Structure 1
Amino acid sequence: MDNVVDENKVNQVVESAKGQTAGYELPLLLFAGFRTLIDRLHAELARQGHPDLRPAYGFAMQAVGTGRDGATASEIGRRLGVTKQAAGKTVDRLVAVGYAERTDDPADARRKRVRLTAHGLDALARSAAVFDALRTEWSRALGPDRLHDLEDALRTVVPPEAIRLDAANWLGGSGA
């Protein structure tokens, strides 16, 4: 496969040799699989009453957590690998669309804590259910053994510490 640009398609991958897989195809397929799952998730969440939810919000809501204590903007920024200011902007948007709220920090009057609202918790619960349904679809399409083998193979090559929320740095966001 070769990566080519033509006037109709911006970044098209074309087959160059039968039976050969170019090294760059693996990350493209992994990213396309991720993107397919995330796009389908958000389409379904929109149908279920969460049309304002964006992929970045899901990462941020995971960084806030589901506990009563929530998190500070600094903690959210650290968990996401972004600055406190960038985290604050995301929190502002989550508050504006009703997924989070700011509360006083009982331990420090100078700080605010961010907690998920009932609407935010509902979005996370629905996200989990949709991901389960999408995994079931993949299992039907691939067969349960092949899907398990795929997941197991990825666990073998992906170090556990690489599974984290701070995607912003390698996607071009502002780092901490």
Structure 2
Amino acid sequence: MPRSGADLALLLLAGFRSLADAATEELARRGYEDMRPAHDFAMRAIIAGADNASELGRRLSVSKQAAAKTIAVLQERGYVGRDTDPQDARRKRLEVTPLGFEVLRQGEAVFDELREQWQRQIGSAELASLEAHLTTLVGARPVRLDAPGWTAHDLGGPA
């Protein structure tokens, strides 16, 4: 019996959650127990140019207040800092710190390891086929990493 469209959507979401949860757990084992997927989205948005709470909120589809809370959490943890804007000394711009870049690199390495695990489970050809089909269906760049929208409720929440 064929699956429904809703079943397909939930299966795809479960695949994402499986990878994201496993990556979060592995990052915790590597010493980044305070890192969450929403923090990754926020730091990538900052790298892409969201240099204040208003812009971060727009890019993440959350309120300015939620973005400010996320910024405070990331600053407290040392992943994000503020620097003086070279065009306006009164303005402070957000920037990802070296520690923030390191945790992003670690996260990328973890996702590569998780992909390798999936490859061992289903085989190289099957995983390549899955990726090719998904690329055909959703495009080569299906999600803007700086605008998760539907995961925004995680922003600024408890570690």
Instruction: Give matches, 1:32-111, under 5 Å.
Output: 32-65=14-47, 71-111=51-91
Length-normalised TM-score, structure 1:
0.77
Length-normalised TM-score, structure 2:
0.85
Alpha-carbon separation, structure 2, partners of 1:153 and 1:27: 15
- Which is higher, the Rg of structure 1 or of structure 2? 1
Residue in 2 that maps onto 1:24 = 6
Contact 2:54 2:64 in 1 (8 A): yes
* Deviation of 1:22 (Å): 2.4
Alpha-carbon separation, structure 1, partners of 2:104 and 2:154: 23
CA change 1:151–1:114 in 2 (3 A) is same
* Deviation of 1:119 (Å): 1.6
- The 10-residue stretch of structure 1 (138-147 or 108-117) with the greater mean CA deviation from structure 2: 108-117
Residue in 1 that maps onto 2:115 = 135
1:134 is paired with a residue whose SS is helix
Q: Percent identity of the aligned residues? A: 45
After TM superposition, what 4+ stretches of structure 1 lie above 3 angstroms from structure 2?
A: 159-162, 169-174
Alpha-carbon separation, structure 2, partners of 1:160 and 1:109: 40
* Deviation of 1:142 (Å): 1.2
Instruction: List gaps (5 residues or longer) in structure 1.
Output: 1-18
CA change 1:29–1:122 in 2 (3 A) is same
CA offsets 1:71-93 (integer angstroms, 9 cap, x no match): 23333233222333322221111
Size of the alignment, in residue pairs?
A: 154
Read off the aligned partner of 1:40 and give its amino acid letter.
A
CA offsets 1:46-93 (integer angstroms, 9 cap, x no match): 111101111110110111118xx8723333233222333322221111
Let me know the Cα RMSD of the aligned residues: 2.4
Alpha-carbon separation, structure 1, partners of 2:69 and 2:58: 14
Read off the aligned partner of 2:107 and give its amino acid letter.
S
1:111 is paired with a residue whose SS is strand
- The 10-residue stretch of structure 1 (104-113 or 29-38) with the greater mean CA deviation from structure 2: 104-113
Instruction: List gaps (5 residues or longer) in structure 2.
Output: none
Alpha-carbon separation, structure 2, partners of 1:131 and 1:58: 13
* Deviation of 1:102 (Å): 1.3
Alpha-carbon separation, structure 2, partners of 1:114 and 1:154: 34
Alpha-carbon separation, structure 2, partners of 1:27 and 1:143: 23
Contact 1:82 1:173 in 2 (8 A): no
